[in-house]
Structure 1
């Protein structure tokens, strides 16, 4: 996510929070650009992988989760939440926590999947249709949710007392092996998939494999990807 980190400007001695860091993609990019990075994630295994992949970089790893991180108010010059708030049960509370954590005048960069144009979501929905099942959907209360568009993400920032400076779509081809793609899709499907009969689960997986095969080039799946991106100031 070089575009997102580059938009934050030169780091000098700035402090950056990667909220929901996963394996540290943003943290690694930011540390390489000179930021002093704190990387936060609730998953201990993700943090372990991140530490290994970012060995030697000035990154402080913390096991914690939005919307309550226990980090101090205004501790950071910049905060990045990369594909995090769209996966949480209360996106509004999570984004307001980002506001609390950045200093007055600091920057917050947020990305989220554009739901109706995301190819990996289409993979899930098509597989369930082929298996004769309704695709699992999670509906959140409207007072805490946001529209999965650039405009919706910008509105979420405003509701969280942030001032959007830039908002646009990001597009790229996500390249991934089938095994890694399946692992991610399985995590997204979660309990509804595991509750299915074993034969149905096999049908769903095979349908996904066939659909992903149409996107495969040289053994790698190329998934056209669209995301919403907002850069805002506190």
Structure 2
């Protein structure tokens, strides 16, 4: 299956940025990990696949529960970090919607925010179901829309600076998109994933960081927002930073920390068939 323009853009956005991700957005995304593993039924002895593992936070948490872990990511830099985080795990370079595993290989398949970064979400769901054994569970998180105030901060700074998304950063094709709501994500699992017993919940939390740490990732080009921030050169990046510094005051406490409200959606479902 050919790579979409969105997929190609994602590969460029994450290339060589594992360390910058881990120091900022990685800490944010770690919040959902325990609930994600619970939703997938990950426990001792389970054969687990972590898709879009990043620096290996989910894979390491699954291994700590006694699971037998495999993990994949499309970015080699992430794979190197994940392999160090989970010694002995099977960590490989691979990208949805094609995974290098046979049908029904895993008791549980998890993806922490991976659906935000694939060009064919429906084909991705079908592939996750394929590698999950009958009776096994698939669990996924995505960012909710509309974005929570803390999640929207960086985008507000970009808009306040008068910067638009450049053409070389294509959005997901309209025919591939889906509503980033509980109903929309659950519907995707039921239809594209053909999963049973689908459940979906909103997870809300306050991420605590500093203005300096929160700016460092985008300034290094991490994720799509980072690619927008650095897309027009140093002068425009500085203009966005100044707007960020002003807007960040809304979320800054007396101790100088940022307190950023975020909301994600967690959905899971079971592959029909015999018990895992």
| TM-score of the pair, normalised by structure 1 | 0.88
1:101 is matched with: 131
Asked whether the equivalents of residues 11 and 34 of structure 1 are also in contact (C-alpha less than 8 Å), the reply is yes
CA distance in 2, matches of 1:108, 1:145: 20
Which ranges of structure 2 fall in alignment gaps of 5 or more residues?
1-32, 272-276
Give 1 or 2: higher strand fraction: 1
Task: Give secondary structure in 2 for the equivalent of 1:116.
Answer: coil
| Greater RCO structure (CA 8 Å; 6+ sep) | 2
Written as runs of structure 1 = structure 2, the 5 A alignment for 1:171-190 is: 171-185=204-218, 186-187=221-222, 188-190=224-226
Task: Name whichever of 21-30 and 176-185 sits farther off.
Answer: 176-185
Deviation of the 1:4 alpha carbon: 1.5
CA distance in 2, matches of 1:120, 1:89: 25
Task: Give secondary structure in 2 for the equivalent of 1:222.
Answer: strand
1:209 is matched with: 245
For the pair 1:229 / 2:266, whether they are aligned, the reply is yes
Deviation of the 1:76 alpha carbon: 0.5
1:7 is matched with: 39
CA distance in 2, matches of 1:3, 1:212: 29
Task: Give secondary structure in 1 for the equivalent of 2:124.
Answer: helix
Written as runs of structure 1 = structure 2, the 5 A alignment for 1:61-210 is: 61-134=91-164, 139-160=171-192, 161-185=194-218, 186-187=221-222, 188-210=224-246
For the aligned residue pairs, the C-alpha RMSD in angstroms reads 2.3
Asked whether the equivalents of residues 177 and 221 of structure 1 are also in contact (C-alpha less than 8 Å), the reply is yes
Which ranges of structure 1 fall in alignment gaps of 5 or more residues?
none
**CA-to-partner distance for each residue in 1:164-214, whole Å, 9 max, x for gaps?**
432110111223344442244332225444332532221112212332343
CA 1:72–1:184 in 2, change beyond 3 Å: closer, same or farther?
Answer: farther
CA distance in 2, matches of 1:214, 1:48: 37
For the pair 1:54 / 2:90, whether they are aligned, the reply is no
Aligned residues: 232
Asked whether the equivalents of residues 115 and 121 of structure 1 are also in contact (C-alpha less than 8 Å), the reply is no
Asked whether the equivalents of residues 170 and 228 of structure 1 are also in contact (C-alpha less than 8 Å), the reply is yes
CA distance in 1, matches of 2:157, 2:250: 13
CA distance in 2, matches of 1:48, 1:180: 23
| TM-score of the pair, normalised by structure 2 | 0.75
**CA-to-partner distance for each residue in 1:34-75, whole Å, 9 max, x for gaps?**
1111111111221222233334xx522111111112222111
